[in-house]
Amino acid sequence: MRFTDTLQAASLRNDSTLCVGLDPEPAKFPGAWKGDAGKVFDFCARIVDATKDVVSAYKPQIAYFAAQRAEDQLEELMAYIRRVAPGVPVILDAKRGDIGATAEQYAREAFVRYQADAVTLSPFMGFDSIEPYMKHDGKGLILLCRTSNPGGSDLQAQVLANGDKLFEHIAKLAAGSWNRNGQLALVVGATFPAELARVRELAPTLPLLIPGIGAQGGDIEATVKAGWRANGPIIVSSSRAILYAGAGDDFAAAARQAALSTRAALNAAIAAVR
C-alpha cells in the first residue's frame, strides 16, 4: 500500500492523528535501565506495545539510535512494529539531503535496510535530491518546509525575488511540479500556526507532519484549526511528553495515558472545526 493509504487506514482504525516519536535517551530510561544503551529496543518496544492502538504513525529519530551505536536495535524495532502493529506506518526521521548516487544510498538505507514507510528529507539541494527516493514506489517523502525551531526563520522566512517566502515556495513545489507520483508531504511546526495555515492554503491535500506539541509548547487547538482539513491529513507528533511521561516501572502505562490524553485533545479540536 502507498504511505498515504496506510496512514489514512491507521488514522481511521485508531481514531487518531497522533504520531509518537521514538527518541530513546538512555539517560532518561526508568529504573535499572537508566543509562543502558543496550535497552534501546526494549524501551521503545514497551512504548509501542502500550500505544499501538492509539496512534496513526510512529516516528523513530535515527540520530538517537546511531549515537548509541544502536542501528541494529532500530532494525529490530522496525521489524517489531511491523509485526505487532501491522498497518501503522513508520516514518524514519532522518532529514537526509544529498544528490545523485549518495541520495540513492540514503534511499536504500531508509526503505531497504529499515523498511520505513516514509522518510523526512531536506529539500534545500533541489528536486534532484528528492528524485532518487521516488524510485521506491508508494513510499512517503516528507520535506522540511516550516520547521518548529526558532532558527528556522533564518532561511525559511526569507523573501525570494518572486515575493514568496522560502517555505511558501517549498509548499508550492511539493503540491505542484515536484509531486510527480503523489508521494510528497511536508513538515510544518505547531509552534508557527499562522505559517502552518499558509502552508495548508498552498498545499490543501498534502499530509502535514506537525512536530512541536508537548515539550515544545505548540498549541493543539491552534494546530488543528490551522492544519486539519477533511481531505488534508495531519500527523501530529509528540515524543518526549509521551516517552518520558513516567519515570518508574510503570513508564509504559504512563506513556499510554499521555498518548490517550493527547489523542483526545486532538480529536476534540478536530470536532470543533469540522
| Catalytic residue (one of 34, 39, 52, 95) | 95
Is residue 139 among the annotated active site residues?
Answer: no
Long-range contacts of 148-157 (CB under 8 A, 24+ apart): 148/189, 148/190, 148/191, 148/192, 148/211, 148/212, 148/216, 148/218, 149/189, 149/191, 150/191, 152/189, 155/124
CB 182: neighbour CB atoms within 10 A? 12
Residue type, 81: I
Place of cell 501503522: 88
Q: What are 90's strand-pairing partners?
A: 58
Q: What are 58's strand-pairing partners?
A: 20, 90
Instruction: Map residue 91 onto helix, strand or coil.
Output: strand
Residues taking part in catalysis = 95
